[in-house]
Amino acid sequence: MRPRVLYTDLDGTLLGPGGSLFAAPAGGVTGLAADAVAAVHRARVALVPVSGRAEVRVREAARLLGADGYIAELGGIRARGDLVVRDHGAYRGRGTPYEAMARSGAAGFLLEAFAGRLEPHAPWAHDGREISMLFRGHVGLGDVHARLDGAGYDWLRLHDNGIVRRAFPGLEVEEVHVYNLLPREVSKATAVSADLADRDVPAGEAAAIGDSASDLALSPHVGRVFLVVPAPPDLALPPNVTVTRAMHGEGFAEAVRLLLD
């Protein structure tokens, strides 16, 4: 069934290297992603960016893409038209979740516990955030959550939001991932589920395209999920998940063709 709503990640999915709509995965220029966005609009499918970016950056990207709303900070903020909903989840202290995390020392705890493997994802880590903290590196989430729980930070969870294909001198890791630290009830999955309820659209009439574990987690909440990166060989994918042959924006275009044909 052709979807009524298409949720898409931005960096590493719709956008190629450097965050460009026109950057081909292996270098050079491609117009496939831009053409696919136009095809989505012609098919009258609502396009909704879902990103770990701060709201101001997702809002502007949504405007440029002609999107029908957006979800920012990995699910913490969702918007459609003039309605903006902030899902803070449960957290400790006053102010925003970001301020509560800053006062709690959670970021310092993680940076010390995983020195050389985790660092702030500068400069975006300090870019008007309300609900999440942004890191880069490579860590085991099971180990992270066990340490957070043991240190009294059981109200927080770290989410893997995809791979950055470049090196950073301060990190002693072979592969760099982007991570969002959030109150444990907040995620892309909860935001997409709430957005579909607001639209009165059944899960089976929605699809999602992404490149990370946080996008894979959408599979119970939409009819189909496409990943534009190879899945780990030891990972059993749900039956409604397809891995595209192409990557980044070209993978987005491949997924759109499969959805609209």
In tens, the pLDDT along 64-102 reads 999 999 999 999 999 999 999 999 999 988 899 999 999
Quick one: pLDDT at residue 127?
86
Quick one: pLDDT at residue 152?
97
Neighbours of 133 (CB within 10 A): 23
pLDDT digit string (tens) for 115-130? 999 999 999 998 889 9
Quick one: pLDDT at residue 39?
98
Q: Which residue has the higher pLDDT, 154 or 235?
A: 154
Please check whether residue 131 is in contact with residue 76, taking contact to mean a CB–CB distance below 8 angstroms: yes
pLDDT confidence of 232, banded at 50, 70, 90? confident
Quick one: pLDDT at residue 94?
87
For range 44-54, the mean pLDDT? 98
pLDDT confidence of 233, banded at 50, 70, 90? confident
Handedness of CA 225, 74, 183, 171 (dihedral sign): positive
For range 145-153, the mean pLDDT? 98
For range 2-14, the mean pLDDT? 97
Whether 234 has a pLDDT exceeding 80, the answer reads no
Q: Which residue has the higher pLDDT, 197 or 231?
A: 197
